[in-house]
């Protein structure tokens, strides 16, 4: 997983501060559910508006791999907080998914969440029909765009 803090120009153009990129080869072959940690935050404000862009479809491999791969974006203990993808990353169309979902904690915090103690943002992958493809043959990529304002971002020396 790659994490990018967007430049001031990218922030102004998109409204997002962070981009997380996950490749299909990062999924473990033996698991039907896998969670990848995106970031650990201690003092931050996380906006509920999240966009997941499917850059390249996840391809199934050989030998009984997953035929469906779905993703939830959230935090430890509530992985469907921001985005609970109901489509399929294998068969779905390349394009945009978005959050927040109308479930759980997202309803009470529709306009964002203040994080004051150590909290891990996660991407949880689920295969409903078998294990994931082999890590050498599993292709696909998607990007997660979030607006995360950390306490360090609010200093006077920011440009």
For the domain spanning 2-150, the CATH number is 2.60.120
Strand partners, 149: 45
What confidence score (pLDDT) does residue 141 get?
Answer: 84
Q: Sheet containing 95-98: which strands, arranged edge to edge?
A: 2-5, 18-23, 141-146, 51-56, 95-98
Mean pLDDT along residues 22-49 = 83
% of the chain surpassing 90 pLDDT: 19
**Cβ 92 vs Cβ 71: under 8 Å:** no
pTM recorded for the entire structure: 0.80
| Lowest mean pLDDT, pick from 10-24, 40-54, 55-69 | 55-69
Whether residue 77 contacts residue 146, with contact meaning beta carbons closer than 8 Å, is answered with no
Six token digits for residue 76: 């430890």
Going across the sheet that includes 148-150, the strands are 113-115, 44-46, 148-150
104: left (phi over 0), alpha (psi -120 to 50) or beta: left
């Amino acid at each position: 997983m790659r994490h990018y803090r967007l430049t001031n120009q990218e922030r102004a153009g998109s409204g997002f501060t962070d981009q997380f990129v996950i490749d299909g080869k990062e999924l473990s072959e033996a698991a039907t559910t896998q969670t990848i940690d995106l970031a650990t935050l201690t003092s931050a404000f996380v906006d509920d508006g999240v966009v997941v862009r499917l850059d390249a479809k996840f391809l199934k491999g050989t030998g009984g791999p997953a035929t469906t791969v779905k993703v939830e974006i959230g935090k430890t203990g509530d992985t469907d907080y921001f985005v609970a993808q109901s489509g399929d990353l294998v068969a779905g169309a390349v394009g945009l998914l978005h959050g927040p979902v109308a479930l759980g904690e997202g309803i009470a915090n529709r306009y964002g969440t203040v994080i004051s103690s150590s909290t891990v943002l996660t991407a949880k992958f689920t295969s409903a029909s078998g294990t994931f493809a082999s890590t050498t043959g599993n292709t696909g990529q998607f990007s997660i765009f979030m607006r995360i304002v950390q306490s360090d971002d609010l200093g006077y020396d920011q440009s």
